Structure 1
Amino acid sequence: MQTAVQTLPAHLMPSYQRPSLSSVVNRNSTMLPTPPVGARKRKRAHQYTVSYSEVQEVDTDGRLREIIVIEDTPPPPTASPATSSRTNGYSASYQPPAYSAPIRTRARAAMEAQADSSGSLSTALPIPAPKKRKRELDEAPPPTKKGFPPAQASTNHATWTNGSTATSATTPKQQVSCDDKEGHYIVTPDDIIYKRYRTVRLLGQGTFGKVVEAVDIETNKRVAIKIIRAIQKYREASRIEVRVLQKLKERDPSNRHKCIHLLNWFDYRNHICLVSELLGMCVYDFLKENDFAPFPRDHIQSFAQQLLGSVAFLHDLHIIHTDLKPENILLVRNDFRTVTVPTPGKRHGHRTKRILDSTDIRLIDFGSATFEDEYHSAVVATRHYRAPEIILGLGWSYPCDAYSLGCILVEFYTGMALFQTHDNLEHLAMMEMVMGKMPENVAREAVNHKPEFFKEGPKLNWPSPKTTKQSRKDVRATRSLQEIIPQTDMINVHFLDLVRKLLMFDPKQRITVRDALRHPYFSQTIPPEL
């Protein structure tokens, strides 16, 4: 399988403009607390399913290429920070949102859809609920069911185009299927993989495979193994991830840039397996277990500096991650302390909140990473973190990673994803509410690619005759960045300026991640708030 392509405009190549940083308000302003961001429940109550499909695109050479598409999944029934109002006088960086009903998170949204297709044995480990936010193509054709190749017989070698060789540990006695009907490897406790790794527990499952915790029998150390599904298109897709991970380790052996390190990889019973260091939970799971309470502002600054450094390192190697999101950021350690904070909206009310002992993180999941000079599929990035140029069909390059980072930093500040939508036109309308009107030069170019999104020339066609009352209400309730991040002190002034530059509509004007590392925000000393 090869990745499909969309011709890239010249202005999105590595030479895109790098705006200089503007000066901001003087640093002697009095530091004031930031009002919190409240939350309201979404009123949509639709039934959704999670599925994947294949689509084909024609590249610039006229060749037909197949790409894997993960279809859209619904947002959690909680408000985004852009549609939440402020309450009381507490700091948004440490006050969790209040809920009047149990939280239905993104991680639960597809549980029912996965239940019927698990196909695992009674002895298999329980499967954690899959993450809800997935990359998707909004108008993909219905998914097709295809079988997966039979398990490979006896020891053989699969040589990939990058020159590496994966050795299969399969023997004739292992012909009995070890997979469920979807091609996922059935994980059982104390299973021995590749005659070296003893499984401990299942850590997670996604469209491309499973991740298990295991003990390396040779070193007695615990590792994480990503087991790719035994379906040829996923096996082929995994070779790009191996290439990227090998290059990252080669260029950064001491891991100064905080990307996951590949320890080993091999082909086992028709499953490509990637072995890496065992880390803590993902940042999204920590947010969920902490009732979506925002991170302290000093933690946000630490996260921002590490993430920008990791992505700048990727861009220096001409690699675009394309799927940056809290699920793909792992904590090195899960240790935390518990503190008591006031409850918004309740007089004399208090609640507990978890504060991390360490903000050390690692960037993971390079399965969608793309080399700048190789084929680019038309749609990339998980919906909530997708840049406008991707939605508008203008092509994409390094700036799409910068935009995703801007969305992530706002989510760290509020506890909620910035954009809660799964409709392209509604998403663009919300972007205009948050970031300001779409620049005319971007709109005029986009009209040629997505005329259905516009009317009367470069004006966004929203609301359209088909726009629902709920959609109109949601967009009207969307708040601007200035309202989400009020400029109550110099820390917020600089943070708002950085986020605004990362979320510029025009990718030519968007700040690069390398320049963002030199932003005045990182020269601020932010004292611990709790």
Structure 2
Amino acid sequence: MLTKFPKLFSSRYQECSKDYSFSLPHFDTNAPPASLMVVPSIPEGEDSRNRQKGGPHNGGYDDKNNDYILKDGECFNARYIILTEKPIGKGSFGQVTRAYDTVAKEDVAIKIIKNKKTFFDQAQIEIKLLEMMRAHDTERKYNVVLLKGHFVHRNHLCLVFELLSYNLYDLLRNTNFRGVSLNLTRKFAQQLTKTLLFLSSPELSIIHCDLKPENVLLCNPKRSKINIIDFGSSCQIGHRIYQYIQSRFYRSPEVLLGIAYDTKIDMWSLGCILVEMHTGEPLFAGSSELDQMMKIVEVLGMPPKELLDIGPKTHKYFGKTEDGVYYCKTTRDNFNKCYRGPGHRKLHDILGVTSGGPNGRRAGESGHSVEEYSKFKDLVKRMLTYDPKARISPYYAVRHPFLRPRTTSHSGQPAASDSPTTKMSYQLKHFYTFIDFFKIGRCSPVVIRPSSVVFPTDFRWRDQNKETSSSELWLRVQSRVHWLKCLSQVRVVAFAEINSVFFSFRRTSSEPLELLKDVSR
């Protein structure tokens, strides 16, 4: 196809351009969804070339499923030449095709939404979210696919994206479903946790809602750089649209139970993805929602009672004794004789922590030590915590020991940046010891009163043996608040300024407030 492209492009573009009486329209990539640009691809009276005469669907342009019938070489929006009649991707939303952008002179991917109002409306939400992410990631650091623009073609909303390579499921298939190395799994995890940190930021608060290997694409087939695609099911916290979300294998317990969800459901999906990328097989491959829950229980044991008590759909999966003890319905009702009971499958064994990796395939390989596997298992367990409130947040996930880059000095010893005595490690050690923080701002200057935080009179600098007054503390921090969370009998504050960071916290016990001074310098 590509060898014939220059001649094909020349002839097709001449056909498109010579019949137009208007100039090439401006492609407004910043236009909001409400002001979508509608431009005919073929002038009136000249459309018999592609039209199925007498066709019942959209004047013959659509098939019975409301998908646009692609024609090789057709011109979209007086700019894009369709390169193939066979889509490169297809889903409930519509299809994705490859095209050539005659203005930017590059190949692109065009997502053509089905000609149905529900899909059209949802795609407008996707555009809004993608434009928000683009505005907050001008340097392209957070691994989100780039939306180049959008337009309407014959009643089909079209989204133009950068063209990427194959997805992580294709990568697994290329390994014959034996999985990729722990090092490559780590590289994917580093990027994906960074993306989730970006999506969960207060400025965005976006839930992807369909994170799975098929929606994570390599930017280059020979590199590990990835981008997340398909925000067609996504929403913002407070604007949740659907109850039925997430592909089943990657569906979180709170969604299965019908409990209100937030960005933590994407962290659950990521935990499932990371295990699958290394083992080559889905961790929880349920054939139905009931089977999915039982597969989860087999590995993680029973969900906490507090979670089951508030789940509107708990009765689908669990029964309850007169004493208020929950049990799996499959256990009592003998629904599935293959079910082996809560906690029967161990994550330790699935990953092969002490046996050389999954099925012993990585035994003796560099980078697959028991220590590395133990770190990997710990991260996955934190991602697959039943209670979303206790599940690891993106902020802590990106700082997990498994994901921290390993560097060595010329002497072969760990570099200073890896030493547990360094200031950053010292800071993280103490954060892990006490409480998980809820980030509500990005060092925005605020006016705050010292009286809003209660300081004991006997607190000391951790590295100084002298008392410090509250007023002196507030002068030092210059009223720049980084995190703030108030819990029952616990008040946690972290202050940030350009060159230094001060952290303070008070424990529920009688111990005095401790302050880590200048840990970032």
In structure 1, what is the equivalent of residue 287 of structure 2? 422
1:239 and 1:304 mapped to 2: Cα distance?
30
Provide the secondary structure at the position in 1 that maps to 2:109. Answer: strand
Provide the secondary structure at the position in 1 that maps to 2:329. Answer: coil
Distance 1:526 1:438, change over 3 A: farther
1:502 and 1:243 mapped to 2: Cα distance?
29
Distance 1:273 1:207, change over 3 A: same
Written as runs of structure 1 = structure 2, the 5 A alignment for 1:345-356 is none
Tell me, yes or no, if structure 1 residue 270 matches structure 2 residue 155: yes
Q: Percent identity?
A: 32
Tell me, yes or no, if structure 1 residue 295 matches structure 2 residue 159: no
Provide the secondary structure at the position in 1 that maps to 2:112. Answer: strand
2:76 and 2:116 mapped to 1: Cα distance?
19
1:472 and 1:295 mapped to 2: Cα distance?
29
Decide which of 299, 303, 326 is 1:434's aligned counterpart: 299
Provide the secondary structure at the position in 2 that maps to 1:198. Answer: strand
Distance 1:161 1:254, change over 3 A: closer
Tell me, yes or no, if structure 1 residue 232 matches structure 2 residue 113: no
1:292 and 1:298 mapped to 2: Cα distance?
17
Tell me, yes or no, if structure 1 residue 332 matches structure 2 residue 196: no
* Contiguous gaps of at least 5 residues in structure 2: 1-21, 52-58, 355-369, 409-521
1:471 and 1:376 mapped to 2: Cα distance?
36
C-alpha contact 1:185 1:271 (8 A) present in aligned 2:
yes
Distance 1:424 1:460, change over 3 A: farther
CA RMSD of aligned residues (A): 2.7
Distance 1:391 1:432, change over 3 A: same
* Contiguous gaps of at least 5 residues in structure 1: 1-153, 336-357
| Larger proportion of helix | 2
Distance 1:165 1:189, change over 3 A: closer
Tell me, yes or no, if structure 1 residue 165 matches structure 2 residue 3: no
**Bigger mean CA offset, 477-486 vs 426-435:** 477-486
Decide which of 308, 312, 315 is 1:451's aligned counterpart: 315
In structure 1, what is the equivalent of residue 345 of structure 2? 479
In structure 2, what is the equivalent of residue 190 of structure 1? 73
1:471 to partner: Cα distance: 4.0
After superposition, the C-alpha distances for 1:121-140 in whole angstroms (9 at most, x for unaligned) are xxxxxxxxxxxxxxxxxxxx
Distance 1:236 1:163, change over 3 A: closer
Larger Rg: 2
2:339 and 2:265 mapped to 1: Cα distance?
27
**Bigger mean CA offset, 452-461 vs 379-388:** 452-461
Letter in 2 for 1:303: F
1:162 to partner: Cα distance: 5.3
Letter in 2 for 1:195: A
1:249 and 1:216 mapped to 2: Cα distance?
20
Tell me, yes or no, if structure 1 residue 519 matches structure 2 residue 384: no
After superposition, the C-alpha distances for 1:379-406 in whole angstroms (9 at most, x for unaligned) are 2100000000111111111111110010
In structure 1, what is the equivalent of residue 516 of structure 2? none
Provide the secondary structure at the position in 2 that maps to 1:234. Answer: helix
Tell me, yes or no, if structure 1 residue 304 matches structure 2 residue 304: no
1:437 to partner: Cα distance: 2.5
1:234 and 1:392 mapped to 2: Cα distance?
26
1:224 and 1:160 mapped to 2: Cα distance?
19
TM-score relative to the length of structure 1: 0.62
1:166 to partner: Cα distance: 2.7
C-alpha contact 1:433 1:479 (8 A) present in aligned 2:
yes
1:289 to partner: Cα distance: 3.0
Distance 1:165 1:191, change over 3 A: closer
Written as runs of structure 1 = structure 2, the 5 A alignment for 1:136-285 is 163-169=34-40, 171-173=43-45, 174=47, 176-201=59-84, 202-285=87-170
1:427 to partner: Cα distance: 2.0
Q: Which has the higher contact order (CA 8 A, sep 6+)?
A: 1
1:371 to partner: Cα distance: 0.8
1:449 and 1:468 mapped to 2: Cα distance?
18
Written as runs of structure 1 = structure 2, the 5 A alignment for 1:483-522 is 483-488=349-354, 489-522=370-403
1:458 and 1:431 mapped to 2: Cα distance?
19
Provide the secondary structure at the position in 1 that maps to 2:157. Answer: strand
After superposition, the C-alpha distances for 1:280-303 in whole angstroms (9 at most, x for unaligned) are 011111212331121111101100
Equivalent pairs, count: 349
1:478 to partner: Cα distance: 6.0
In structure 2, what is the equivalent of residue 462 of structure 1? 329
Distance 1:522 1:160, change over 3 A: closer
1:487 to partner: Cα distance: 3.0
After superposition, the C-alpha distances for 1:44-79 in whole angstroms (9 at most, x for unaligned) are xxxxxxxxxxxxxxxxxxxxxxxxxxxxxxxxxxxx
1:215 and 1:520 mapped to 2: Cα distance?
43
Letter in 1 for 2:37: A
1:217 to partner: Cα distance: 1.3
1:451 to partner: Cα distance: 2.6
C-alpha contact 1:263 1:276 (8 A) present in aligned 2:
yes
Letter in 1 for 2:193: L
1:467 and 1:218 mapped to 2: Cα distance?
63
C-alpha contact 2:329 2:335 (8 A) present in aligned 1:
no
Distance 1:232 1:249, change over 3 A: same
Provide the secondary structure at the position in 1 that maps to 2:220. Answer: coil
1:298 and 1:219 mapped to 2: Cα distance?
36
1:376 and 1:207 mapped to 2: Cα distance?
17
After superposition, the C-alpha distances for 1:251-287 in whole angstroms (9 at most, x for unaligned) are 1122111100011100010111111111101111121
Provide the secondary structure at the position in 2 that maps to 1:167. Answer: coil
Distance 1:160 1:218, change over 3 A: closer
Distance 1:478 1:192, change over 3 A: farther
2:208 and 2:265 mapped to 1: Cα distance?
9
Letter in 2 for 1:297: L
Distance 1:225 1:427, change over 3 A: same
**Bigger mean CA offset, 453-462 vs 219-228:** 453-462
Provide the secondary structure at the position in 2 that maps to 1:169. Answer: coil
1:203 to partner: Cα distance: 0.8
Distance 1:190 1:263, change over 3 A: same
Distance 1:469 1:507, change over 3 A: closer
C-alpha contact 1:491 1:524 (8 A) present in aligned 2:
no
1:422 and 1:458 mapped to 2: Cα distance?
26
Provide the secondary structure at the position in 2 that maps to 1:182. Answer: coil
1:426 to partner: Cα distance: 2.6
1:312 and 1:237 mapped to 2: Cα distance?
24
**Bigger mean CA offset, 429-438 vs 275-284:** 429-438
TM-score relative to the length of structure 2: 0.63
1:195 to partner: Cα distance: 1.6
In structure 2, what is the equivalent of residue 80 of structure 1? none
Distance 1:188 1:165, change over 3 A: closer
1:491 to partner: Cα distance: 0.6
2:128 and 2:181 mapped to 1: Cα distance?
36
